[in-house]
Structure 1
Amino acid sequence: MVFLDDDRLFDAEPKARDIARALYAGIKDLPLVSPHGHTDPRWYAENEKFPDPARLLIVPDHYVFRMLFSQGTRLEDLGVPTTDGSAVEADGRKIWRLFAKNYYLFRGTPTRLWLDHTFATLFGVTERLSEANADAIYDRIAGLLERDDFRPRALFERFNLEVISTTDAALDDLRWHRMIRDSGWQGRVVPAYRPDSVVDPDFPGFAENLDKLADITGEDSGHWSGYLAAHRKRRAYFKEFGATSSDHGHPTAETANLSPKEAGTLFDRVRTGHADARERGQFRAQMLTEMAKMSVDDGLVLQIHPGAWRNHSPSMLQRFGRDKGFDIPTRTDYVAGLKPLLDAVGTDPNLSIILFTLDESVYARELAPLAGVYPALRLGPPWWFHDSPEGMRRFREMATETAGFYNTVGFNDDTRAFPSIPARHDVARRVDCAFLARLVTEHRLDEDEAHEVAHDLAYNLVKKAYKL
């Protein structure tokens, strides 16, 4: 039976648990601020009913299908689309049954926490999902999804979402954001500028993407100065629709600060397809610094999400495309990698950079010391593979001693799975309250301070960091 214990994720020791309960009671109902994620703005623009339970909760969620694939389930049998359009399972009930049969695989994982929370609080499910009750739970969820109060805008409001930021490619026309704005609906959905497709020479179709960038901006992307001007125009366009941040998913945290002449020469080699692997990496590094300089001018918060070996399996990339669970963490160097950028603008009061990592070994050694001194730097919350109770605890333990709480930015859910957003925020709030309660019981923090910090971590810091 699904039983969401009121004390889940709190310390078993009575005094610490009591303090955590009190802290959590003071913040659990605060509005949700979701400043970085990958939900589809089309959902909020068109406000159509969500599809069946499988296509809502399984097919688009790589946290779910990567686990099942690791145990031998074919992605085709889970309805994951193929790049060539070949047939995959289309019966949502069959997909759901397969998922339910293998639900035990998620024991002990954050995915299980999120799903149980979603099943119980959103859909009123009172039993743990299994092969035996799969059809009954499917029918219950499917029935609710037919109701108007389960459409995207209604759920946005039910979730108490104050604002959500989507992540949109530099070439996106933002038509869904325009539709949202023109609809008169009061929900706040803003874009974030994601220029990977036009700054990464290894991105598929890079040369063609630069041509498109020129077409939509009227700038000559065949030359360095025109290329930078095109980025400035696109950033300004995104800001018209409420964007407050840019986002950069680079393989490494390497930056560079070449002279304009050197950068122009490098761009020419990249633009014409003559750059080797080292030069392509240097170009990505240069563009992080260029984006930081643009942020000084236009105020967009710079998010850096480095350190993933994207699409680790070539055969799976070819068959299913990007973002199918085959992105793997790598070692990441921040101290040397970021130095050229920090030398250029790291002490500028007009710049705000939020650093993320998939390499937990750098929390205490690199990230916390950097954020603990450079005014431009803040630490993003545990990301992706580390968005878990254990990952959040490790982050607080390793980063707080050097960076404190106020060089971090609260929590963001970074999800494509819209129904899981409240669950993810709830986990983060509970873990933070448990951590603060421990500091109180160890007499390292007064209880009134802990209440202030809990409120800041849940709400204030994220609004300030992302200028929301």
Structure 2
Amino acid sequence: MAAFMDKDFLLTTDVARKLYHEVAAGLPVIDYHSHLQQGEIAERKRFRNIAELWLGGDHYKWRLMRTAGVPEEYCTGERSDREKFDAFCRVLPLAIGNPIYHWSHLELRRIFGIDLIINEKNADAIWEQANAKLATMDTWAFLEQAKVEIACTTDDPADDLLQHAEIAASALKTRVLPAYRPDKAMRINNPGFVEYVARLADVAGMQIDSFAGLIAALAKRVAFFHERGGRISDHAIDIALPTVAATDEQLEAMFAKRMAGELLSDTEQAQYLRGLLQRIGAVYAEFDWTMCFHIGAMRNNNQRMLDTLGPDTGFDSISDMTTSNGLVALLSSLDANKQLPQTMLFNLNPAMNEVLSTMIGNFQDGSVAGKVQFGPAWWFNDHKVGNLAQLVAFANHSVLGIFVGMVTDSRSFASYPRHDYFRRLVCRQLGEWVEGGEYPDDFDALATVVRGICYDNAKKYFKL
């Protein structure tokens, strides 16, 4: 029986162990999609204790705690940091099989050098030892300890990126780059849409009185981001796209309707989103950017808790919407006009693994390895089974050796051990294929694949 999370954790074969320890373990990290706050990096934030670090904004942990019967006051409420930490330690042992159990122990070991099991009995010792180490660390220390070479934040087109400029001029070894996330321009029925358009117009220094004007302002901000190192955009696709695109006239009418204070129908919202993505996708192609789509989330499902706590607090789930026809139509339309940028498709519904891993093959043109990529296991798929399923689907239908690998997709500076978790699973899967006689025991060839997935491919693909 293997010891709990020993040095060979998740590594089931000799080949896997050799690949991980000799190749994967020491590679730098390129985190091309995260939700780290640029301000917390610029100001070199320090965390007052491990509760703030672990529970201060982590909706994964809040969701786990609620499910285990912990009252909200210990998650997002008024209880003290220590009381919240103790509540987490008390219920985590119940979460056998949950990736948070593994991630939390990896963080404890990799960041703090603490080998204790997280439970109620060890809460005092973990609290004292972790807080002593935190007193010597700021956000830069987390990035440098994890060997993060590049970290991309998630930024609104209207952001001034001034804190990014501060970071770029600092002595931080990690390159912190902006990534372009125009959600507020995409979600046309959101209450603040009209006000947002006014803000975007002000920042872009131009009038926005039409849909064409909105696209022009967004394009101007793409150029602004590009000058400051931005090379990646990100879009949440939470509704099914239509197979037939709206005309310019229809898009202008929909934009005018919303700016006049009226809401769009569900059909109109989908048509608007498709029109925006098609036009901004062409802009990304012009700047040689990568366009990322995160597909299939049902967000903020509990209206009572949305009203109480706001969005992104742990009340999201997987959607079973069908997106394939509309998504293909969008990509094909861009491709037909030679305006399809490098594109990455992330799915939240694991039932779409084969859908997207086959879809990417429709739009490869030889210009770059994996021009259209099947993104890594994301959010509710980011666990052992989900990561392995994504790797197998990618391998079954594409060329696994060109995969650009893992992202944290996290707001937490403690999340970087997830890359270690992912790298162990990559080595595990390759090792099992070799052990089963499905691939030769060629260390050099295998090492090339591992280095590519864990580091090299992302650096080339995103031109970082």
Shorter-chain TM-score: what band?
A: over 0.9
Note if 1:444 corresponds to 2:411.
no
Letter in 2 for 1:68: M
Letter in 2 for 1:241: R
Which one of the candidate residues 217, 222, 229 is aligned to 1:230?
217
Q: Find the aligned partners of 1:18 and 1:406 in 2 and give their Cα distance.
A: 21
Q: Find the aligned partners of 2:463 and 2:226 in 1 and give their Cα distance.
A: 12
Tell me how far 1:404 sits from its aligned partner. Answer: 2.1
Q: Find the aligned partners of 1:59 and 1:105 in 2 and give their Cα distance.
A: 21
Note if 1:27 corresponds to 2:24.
yes
Root-mean-square deviation (CA, aligned residues, Å) is 1.8
Identity of aligned residues (%): 30
Q: Find the aligned partners of 1:458 and 1:136 in 2 and give their Cα distance.
A: 34
Partner residue, 2:427: 433
Note if 1:336 corresponds to 2:325.
yes
Q: Find the aligned partners of 2:39 and 2:428 in 1 and give their Cα distance.
A: 37
Note if 1:393 corresponds to 2:382.
no
Cα pair 1:89 1:95 within 8 Å, conserved? no
Which one of the candidate residues 348, 351, 358 is aligned to 2:348?
358
Post-superposition CA distance 1:284-324 (Å, at most 9, x none) = 12212122111111222101012111101001111011111
Within a 5 Å distance, the mapping from 1:197-276 to structure 2 comes to 197-252=184-239, 254=241, 257-274=245-262, 275-276=264-265
Does the residue aligned with 2:150 lie in a helix, a strand or coil?
strand
Partner residue, 1:178: 165
Q: Find the aligned partners of 1:251 and 1:233 in 2 and give their Cα distance.
A: 26
Cα pair 2:286 2:339 within 8 Å, conserved? no
Q: Find the aligned partners of 2:335 and 2:170 in 1 and give their Cα distance.
A: 40
Note if 1:467 corresponds to 2:454.
no
Tell me how far 1:106 sits from its aligned partner. Answer: 2.4
Instruction: Identify unmatched segments of 5+ residues in structure 2.
Output: 365-370
TM-score by length of 1: 0.92
Does the residue aligned with 1:372 lie in a helix, a strand or coil?
helix
Within a 5 Å distance, the mapping from 1:71-150 to structure 2 comes to 71-78=68-75, 80=76, 88-147=77-136, 150=137
Note if 1:62 corresponds to 2:59.
yes
Partner residue, 1:159: 146
Q: Find the aligned partners of 2:144 and 2:43 in 1 and give their Cα distance.
A: 16
Tell me how far 1:250 sits from its aligned partner. Answer: 2.2
Tell me how far 1:173 sits from its aligned partner. Answer: 1.9
Q: Find the aligned partners of 1:436 and 1:137 in 2 and give their Cα distance.
A: 35
Cα distance change on mapping 1:367 and 1:350 into 2, 3 Å: closer
Q: Find the aligned partners of 2:72 and 2:282 in 1 and give their Cα distance.
A: 42
Q: Find the aligned partners of 1:279 and 1:430 in 2 and give their Cα distance.
A: 45
Q: Find the aligned partners of 1:143 and 1:458 in 2 and give their Cα distance.
A: 32
Cα pair 2:60 2:314 within 8 Å, conserved? yes
Tell me how far 1:238 sits from its aligned partner. Answer: 1.5
Partner residue, 1:14: none
Q: Find the aligned partners of 2:212 and 2:159 in 1 and give their Cα distance.
A: 22
Within a 5 Å distance, the mapping from 1:415-426 to structure 2 comes to 415-421=410-416, 423-426=417-420
Partner residue, 1:83: none
Tell me how far 1:3 sits from its aligned partner. Answer: 4.6
Tell me how far 1:415 sits from its aligned partner. Answer: 1.1
Post-superposition CA distance 1:315-355 (Å, at most 9, x none) = 11110111111111112434302133222223648610100
Cα distance change on mapping 1:184 and 1:455 into 2, 3 Å: closer
Does the residue aligned with 2:315 lie in a helix, a strand or coil?
coil
Within a 5 Å distance, the mapping from 1:39-58 to structure 2 comes to 39-58=36-55
Cα pair 2:384 2:425 within 8 Å, conserved? yes
Partner residue, 1:6: 7
Does the residue aligned with 1:246 lie in a helix, a strand or coil?
strand
Post-superposition CA distance 1:167-200 (Å, at most 9, x none) = 1122222222122123343420011111111221
Does the residue aligned with 1:429 lie in a helix, a strand or coil?
helix
Does the residue aligned with 2:400 lie in a helix, a strand or coil?
coil
Which one of the candidate residues 269, 276, 280 is aligned to 1:287?
276
Q: Find the aligned partners of 1:259 and 1:431 in 2 and give their Cα distance.
A: 46
TM-score by length of 2: 0.92
Q: Find the aligned partners of 1:236 and 1:463 in 2 and give their Cα distance.
A: 21
